Amino acid sequence: MKLKRLKSRTKYILIFGLGFLFSIGSIFSIVKNYYYVYKLSKYRDKLQRENELLKSSINSYNKNDFIEYNARVRLGFKKEDEIEYRFTPPKK
């Protein structure tokens, strides 16, 4: 049985077609990776903004005025030699 030889033009078309099919898969993979990197950079930016907000709130919590206010109001502490007055609310 004799094998049929392809014409040179047909060979080139076949090689080009196979190359095109294989390149579609790699192009899709590249586009998918670029999109993934884009999503990750957006997520990183969001986390950096949140981190800055948390740092600023931590800095405000470490101030003496804030600590003293919370100790007085929430915990009921008072300074030494300080007299505390408590009034009962008027009845209606």
In a domain, 48, yes or no: yes
Which domain covers residue 48, as residue numbers?
37-73
Q: Residue 42 and residue 36: Cα distance in Å, rounded? A: 10
The pTM assigned to this predicted structure is 0.53
User: Looking at residue 10, what DSSP letter applies?
Assistant: H
Q: Is residue 52 part of a domain?
A: yes
Total tally of structural domains belonging to the chain? 1
Domain-embedded: residue 57: yes
Domain membership flag for residue 43: yes
Is there a domain that residue 44 lies in? yes
Residue 92 belongs to a domain: no
Residue 69 resides in a domain: yes
pLDDT in tens, 4-41: 666 777 877 888 887 877 777 777 888 899 999 999 99
The DSSP-derived string for 1-35 is -PPPPPPHHHHHHHHHHHHHHHHHHHHHHHHHHHH
**Confidence grade of residue 72 (pLDDT, cut at 50, 70, 90):** confident
Residue 56 within any structural domain of the chain: yes
